[in-house]
A = this chain, B = another copy of it.
């Protein structure tokens, strides 16, 4: 039995921010060790200036059912984001910021990818305080090699 969950979060959209956090939360609730490794656009999820403003966009996502020519109009991404946030609230689901706090309390480790932190010119103080450390791919793979469930979102 794997006793650990290692998830890479590489997307910074509101819809794709939830799966890694929900899985990490579930793993922790099951008594597994869990860690989320934020890389590339996924860094948005742990950036102080962006975590509360993640967006879901109908642009390029045929599942949202909006014609492309309409999807690019000003306000459409904002509208889709508001609708998703409203639905999340109605269902009693936490916001992304609330989930991050909860994960931290449950002992889930939150890591920022050092390569992309550098690529985007970020500093430690640009990231939310819940972040445990800024680590490289070596650290990630060493952790992932120890009998873990490993996912790239």
Contacts and interface: CB of A to CB of B under 8 A. Distances in A.
A148 B2 CA distance: 9
A152 B151 contact: yes
B60 A40 contact: no
A61 B41 contact: yes
A71 B67 CA distance: 11
Contact of A87 (B63, B76, B119): B119
Interface in A24-62: 26-27, 29-30, 32, 39-41, 44, 50, 54-57, 59-62
A77 B68 contact: yes
Given A5-B141, A26-B137, A151-B150, A39 B19 contact: yes
Q: Is the interface of A mostly helix, strand, loop or mixed?
A: mixed
A74 B63 contact: no
Interface of A: 1-3, 5, 8, 10-13, 15-16, 18-19, 22-23, 26-27, 29-30, 32, 39-41, 44, 50, 54-57, 59-64, 67-69, 71-74, 76-77, 87-88, 91, 93, 115, 118-119, 121, 136-138, 140-142, 144-153
